[in-house]
Amino acid sequence: MKTIYLIGFMGSGKSTIGGKLGEVLIENYLDTDREIEKVYKQNIPEIFSEKGEETFRQYETAILKKVNQPIISTGGGIVERKENIHIMKQNGTIIYLATSFKEIFKRLEKDVNRPLWNKDIADRKALYNKRVHLYEKHADEIIVTDGKSPEMIVNEILMRLRNKNK
Ligand SMILES: Nc1ncnc2c1ncn2[C@@H]1O[C@H](COP(=O)(O)OP(=O)(O)OP(=O)(O)O)[C@@H](O)[C@H]1O
Ligand SMILES: O=C(O)C1=C[C@@H](O)[C@@H](O)[C@H](O)C1
Ligand SMILES: [Mg+2]
């Protein structure tokens, strides 16, 4: 099976959907953010505050190169580096979980663990607008998540993959 990479903005549900997809397909699942925390023995807010975003991005690429689970949920900034896109394109199928800014705002209302979300609304919106084009450009499949339960999204992904492999 080719690796399924889930991409999308913070809060689009990559980790949530990745875990459920792993259960349904009975395949190993890995989240690059959790793997970074495990390998580098520090949580993400600490990495950002003590080492900076550039170091985090280096860790992220190193992890992406190393892992090969059938289902991988990525961090929201995975599309920031061309090298990451190249790795994902070579190894698998990229699925973009497209979620509106309004919906993300609702989902991450109380979140304090995402350093790049802990900003004022103009910065959040600017990051979202910059990233949306990259997700769209590099995705093999785009799944809109607004108004859908995780189970509905998993089913939609399974249907798309089935149609792709026909
Ligand atoms: N389809 C959905 N409908 C409603 N809430 C959702 C949905 N998918 C995920 N959520 C909720 O949104 C929040 C963020 O989800 P999740 O952590 O999976 O996002 P993510 O894309 O992995 O974010 P990040 O890029 O920061 O890792 C969680 O509280 C999760 O329960
Ligand atoms: O959108 C981003 O750049 C990030 C998203 C999260 O998944 C983490 O990878 C980290 O908080 C950075
Ligand atoms: Mg996640």
* pLDDT tens digits, 127-159: 999 999 999 999 999 999 999 999 999 999 999
Closest ligand 1 atom to residue 75 Cα is 25
Q: For residue 70, is pLDDT > 90?
A: yes
Q: Is the beta carbon of 18 within 6 A of some atom in ligand 1?
A: no
Please provide the average confidence, as pLDDT, over all residues in the chain: 97
* ipTM computed for the complex: 0.98
CB 98 within 8 A of CB 13: no
Q: Is the beta carbon of 14 within 6 A of some atom in ligand 2?
A: no
Closest ligand 2 atom to residue 33 Cα is 9
| Continuous segment of H or E residues that includes residue 141 | strand 141-144
Domain of 10, in residue numbers:
3-164
Show the tokens assigned to 128.
């979202």
The Å distance, Cα 90 to ligand 1 centre, comes to 26
Show the tokens assigned to 118.
């802990």
Q: For residue 164, is pLDDT > 90?
A: no
The per-residue pLDDT for 11 is 98
The per-residue pLDDT for 129 is 98
Closest ligand 1 atom to residue 73 Cα is 22
The Å distance, Cα 45 to ligand 3 centre, comes to 13
Task: Please name the amino acid found at residue 72.
Answer: I
| Pocket mutation for ligand 2, best pick of 32, 35, 44 (most atoms within 8 Å of C-beta) | 44
pLDDT band of 166, cuts 50, 70, 90: confident
pLDDT band of 165, cuts 50, 70, 90: confident
CATH of the domain at 143: 3.40.50.300
Is 131 annotated among the ligand-binding residues? Answer: yes
Count of other CB atoms within 10 angstroms of residue 87: 18
Q: For residue 107, is pLDDT > 90?
A: yes
Count of the separate structural domains present in the chain: 1
pTM for this model (two decimals): 0.98
pLDDT tens for 4-51 read 999 999 999 999 999 999 999 999 999 999 999 999 999 999 999 999
